[in-house]
Amino acid sequence: MTIQDIVKILTDSGIEPNEANVEVKMLIEHFAGYGVKDIIMGKKLDEKKLALVKEKAELRAKTRQPIQHITGFADFMGEKFIVNSSVLIPRDETEILVRKAVEIIKENNFKMALDVGTGSGCIACMVAKHSGCQIIGLDISTDALNTALDNASRLNLFNKAIFRKSDIFSNVKPGESFDIIISNPPYIPPREKANLQKEVSFDPDIALFTKDPEGLDFYEKIIKESPSILNKNGFLIFELGIGQAQAVKNLMCKDFTEVQILKDLAGIDRVIYGKLKIRN
């Protein structure tokens, strides 16, 4: 059994070759502790560990369970985050959201942020790590919050990233206010469920799907309620689903100004943000 034999297990199941190579590398690093330095040094891979990697590759091929669930970790912005069936696996596109949020925070010297639907806590943790802002992550799922707490602990973000159970803003305390609200909300319409890749079915439905046919339910709720807890000159920033940019912009324009949209590397409208209008 060679590494290429294990790669073939994945490609034979329909996984694209480049992706299969990356995933086998992840499996080898995680389950065998065998990295780039070992390859350079010509170190032999232990047969028992190689057999374990093969077993995990077969599990991936058979079930299409995401590689991140098999290893228990996902890479995001240079850090490893604990992931499981209770949280959404961080996507590369979400880095655009985090980096723009951090940029806004630094430009305005913001001190308090809110992450709505925090999941694994990856957004909250990276905002806390890369800015001087304290952030509260809200989620309705207790299991997700426990995962977020574990991730914040691993990154030593005590008192910088704080987590709280809340259905959107239901548990925001009286008198609390924020300089920026950040959210990657559920935005996939229910009708799209049948068209998604098998791997996506391992993510929690509560983090993916809306109940309305357009996928705008959470945007509407957050946009409507956020002005009441945003400070003067505060910002609201979202990750977007495909084809939702104009609809979300229309919703934001009532209470927000300077609304801007950012594209991802594929040219898809991926992030939208705006500044709270000055109240009369």
DSSP letters spanning 78-133: TEEEE--TTSPPPPTTHHHHHHHHHHHHHHHT--EEEEES-TTSHHHHHHHHHSS-
Q: In whole angstroms, give the CA distance from residue 35 to residue 20.
A: 16
**pLDDT tens-digit profile of 150-167?**
999 999 998 999 999 999
For residue 39, the model assigns a pLDDT of 61
Q: In whole angstroms, give the CA distance from residue 123 to residue 237.
A: 12
Write out residues in the chain with pLDDT < 50, as ranges.
none
For residue 45, the model assigns a pLDDT of 76
Q: In whole angstroms, give the CA distance from residue 120 to residue 123.
A: 8
Q: In whole angstroms, give the CA distance from residue 80 to residue 76.
A: 6
Q: In whole angstroms, give the CA distance from residue 135 to residue 178.
A: 9
For residue 55, the model assigns a pLDDT of 95
The alpha carbons of the chain give a radius of gyration, in whole angstroms, of: 20
* Whether the Cβ atoms of residue 10 and residue 60 lie closer than 8 Å to each other: yes
* Whether the Cβ atoms of residue 114 and residue 135 lie closer than 8 Å to each other: yes
For residue 110, the model assigns a pLDDT of 97
Nearest to 258 by CA among 276, 246, 245, 270: 276
Round to the nearest angstrom and report the end-to-end CA distance of the chain: 72
- The DSSP bridge partners found for residue 271 are 239, 262
